[in-house]
């Protein structure tokens, strides 16, 4: 069969907004790096996953769920998980939406809210899907830079918000810098958001920041606000369930959730994922242990990298944003050759930075040693 004409014909069908989009960069694959390095067990520090595993209750719940069979579709309403979230957070289930990862909810929000030409405001450097999903809808995205010290630039945000965005994506803590907004900073930026905007507060890494008394609980801060908002959280990070794909949003009102329900695929969260998340939510001890161990490693690895002469942004998360002093794609290549996967940052102005997630203390030590060697040697 002759397929020669097919690619050109397909290309002509693609919407211009989609044709011009960057692809989401998940980082190098473990198999690819294993082949390149000859290392069988690669050290994967590229996706901010948990090295501390899941609660034993998760494995048990999934096993039980599988024993019941998987020939039926999952509960499209996610009732049991929504009830568990509602109870844990003291909110009505009508204000909770589930997603195939919280990224799914970012996409649903864009689908439900954005018309071509609408303005979206978010931060730079930032999480790429805060830009990609709005652009799929033909929206314009303005990215407000952080300060030179990687802090939140309240003045620049006030100016951007004055232009009346339809959607505002604010991550707290921020990916990739790991920095967090304190309670006062969050209250001030919220006050600057126009009444006609929808605030999306992305707390994917919130569990790691919560031990810091300065870190504001988004739900508490927004509870009394008389305009639309949604707080997004995920089971992918501190709960260690990235492979199951489950996240959730708690919104200001049930009408917003109903709109998201209209644009989502009906069975967007599969049954093992729902079972796993209910079990994970109930194991406070495992969560506390993961958060404590992560905090200790973040402090220790930050100190070690600084002792090696590297600039590291103070992090309230499970990853570090590191100035390598040379082109980070080349540094990442060198690390890949050593069997270590990190993410080279590509946003303009940050091309010398890598983002590295934490792993176990042993793997972190290997990473620190190799990175220090590479940076000391320099890359021409």
Query: Which of 202, 207, 275, 297 is the binder for ligand PLP (CB under 6 A)?
Result: 202
Stretch that binds ligand PLP, among 22-30, 33-41, 234-242, 278-286 (CB under 6 A): 234-242
Q: Which residue, 127 or 229, is less far from ligand PLP as judged by CB?
A: 127
Nearer to ligand PLP, 249 or 339 (CB): 249
Listed ranges 67-75, 101-109, 147-155, 215-223: which one lies at the site for ligand PLP (CB under 6 A): 101-109
Which residues lie closer than 8 Å to 68 by C-beta, 6 or more apart? none
By CB under 6 A, the residues from 311 to 330 that bind ligand PLP are none
113 Cβ neighbours under 8 A, 6+ residues apart: 166, 167, 198, 259
Handedness of CA 276, 280, 282, 285 (dihedral sign): positive
Q: How far is the CB of 175 from ligand PLP (least distance, A)?
A: 4
Residue 249 binds to ligand PLP (criterion: CB under 6 A): no
Nearest-angstrom CA–CA distance, 269 and 83: 15
Distance of alpha carbon 167 from alpha carbon 118, whole angstroms: 8
Question: What are the counts of helices (DSSP H) followed by strands (DSSP E) for the chain?
Answer: 16, 13
- State the binding string over 123-142 for ligand PLP (x if CB under 6 A, else -): ----x---------------
171 forms part of the interface with ligand PLP (CB under 6 A): yes
Stretch that binds ligand PLP, among 54-62, 87-95, 99-107, 131-139 (CB under 6 A): 99-107
Cα–Cα distance, 218 to 202 (Å, whole number):
9
Instruction: Tell the smallest beta-carbon distance from residue 304 to ligand PLP (Å).
Output: 24
The reply on whether position 103 binds ligand PLP by CB under 6 A is yes
Spatial separation of the C-alpha atoms in residues 325 and 94, rounded to whole Å: 49
State the CB neighbour count (10 A cutoff) for residue 102: 24
Residues lying near ligand PLP in the complex (CB under 6 A) are found at: 48, 101-103, 127, 171, 175, 202, 204, 234, 236, 242, 247
């Amino acid at each position: 069969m002759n397929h020669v004409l097919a690619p050109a014909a397909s290309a002509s069908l693609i919407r211009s907004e989609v044709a011009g989009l960057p692809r989401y960069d998940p980082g190098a694959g473990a198999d690819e790096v294993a082949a390149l390095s000859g290392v069988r067990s690669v050290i994967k520090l590229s996706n901010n996953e948990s090295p501390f595993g899941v609660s034993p209750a998760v494995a048990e719940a999934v096993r039980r769920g599988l024993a019941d069979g998987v020939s039926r579709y999952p509960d499209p309403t996610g009732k049991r998980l929504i009830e568990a979230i509602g109870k844990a957070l003291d909110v009505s289930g009508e204000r909770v939406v589930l997603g195939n990862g919280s990224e799914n909810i970012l996409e649903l929000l864009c689908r439900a809210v954005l018309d071509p030409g609408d303005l979206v405001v978010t931060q730079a450097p930032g999480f790429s899907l805060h830009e990609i999903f709005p652009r799929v809808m033909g929206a314009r995205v303005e990215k407000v830079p952080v300060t030179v010290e990687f802090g939140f630039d309240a003045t620049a945000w006030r100016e951007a918000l004055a232009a009346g965005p339809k959607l505002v994506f604010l991550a707290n803590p921020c990916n990739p810098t790991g920095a967090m907004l304190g309670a006062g900073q969050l209250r001030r930026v919220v006050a600057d958001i126009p009444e006609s905007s929808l605030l999306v507060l992305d707390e994917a890494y919130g569990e790691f920041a919560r031990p810091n008394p300065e870190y504001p609980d988004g739900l508490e801060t927004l509870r009394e606000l008389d305009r639309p908002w949604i707080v997004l959280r995920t089971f992918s990070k501190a709960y260690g369930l990235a492979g199951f794909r489950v996240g959730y949003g708690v919104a200001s009102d049930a009408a917003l959730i109903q709109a998201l329900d209209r644009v989502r695929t009906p069975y967007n969260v599969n049954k093992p994922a729902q079972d796993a998340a209910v079990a994970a939510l109930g194991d406070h001890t495992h969560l506390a242990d993961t958060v404590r161990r992560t905090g200790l490693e973040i402090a220790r690895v930050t100190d070690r990298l600084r002792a090696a002469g590297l600039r590291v942004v103070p992090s309230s998360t499970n990853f570090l944003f590191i100035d390598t002093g040379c082109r980070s794609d080349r540094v990442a290549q060198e690390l890949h050759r050593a069997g270590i996967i990190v993410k080279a940052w590509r946003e303009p102005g940050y091309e010398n930075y890598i983002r590295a997630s934490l792993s176990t203390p042993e793997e972190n030590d290997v990473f620190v040693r190799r990175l220090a060697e590479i940076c000391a040697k320099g890359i021409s």
